[in-house]
Amino acid sequence: RAYLGAGPWVTTPVRRPPGGDLSPTQRTVNRALSAARAPVERGVARLKSWRIFRRARCSPNRMSAIARAVLTLERQR
């Protein structure tokens, strides 16, 4: 697991044990995590597709404002 040392508040998916199945509760938890993670991953993928982020030569502080503007534009689409 990638987040082993992150603390108890970081929830990670439950892996299927070798030769076994997940319980219905564990499957529900995994589905909920996937549903929460999908919009974030989609947003990051859209940000990566904008050319302005490939060769940005401005301050990193300004890039966060640009990222907010791009995400707003993408939501309007």
- Cβ-based neighbours of 70, under 8 Å, separated by 6 or more: 46, 47, 50, 52, 53
What's the pLDDT at 5?
A: 62
* CA dist., res. 39 & res. 18, Å (int): 30
The stretches in the chain having pLDDT less than 70 are 1-7, 77
What's the pLDDT at 62?
A: 84
- Do 56 and 28 meet the contact criterion of CB atoms below 8 Å apart? no
State which residues form the domain around 19. Answer: 1-77
What's the pLDDT at 27?
A: 93
What's the pLDDT at 28?
A: 93
Count of structural domains within the chain: 1
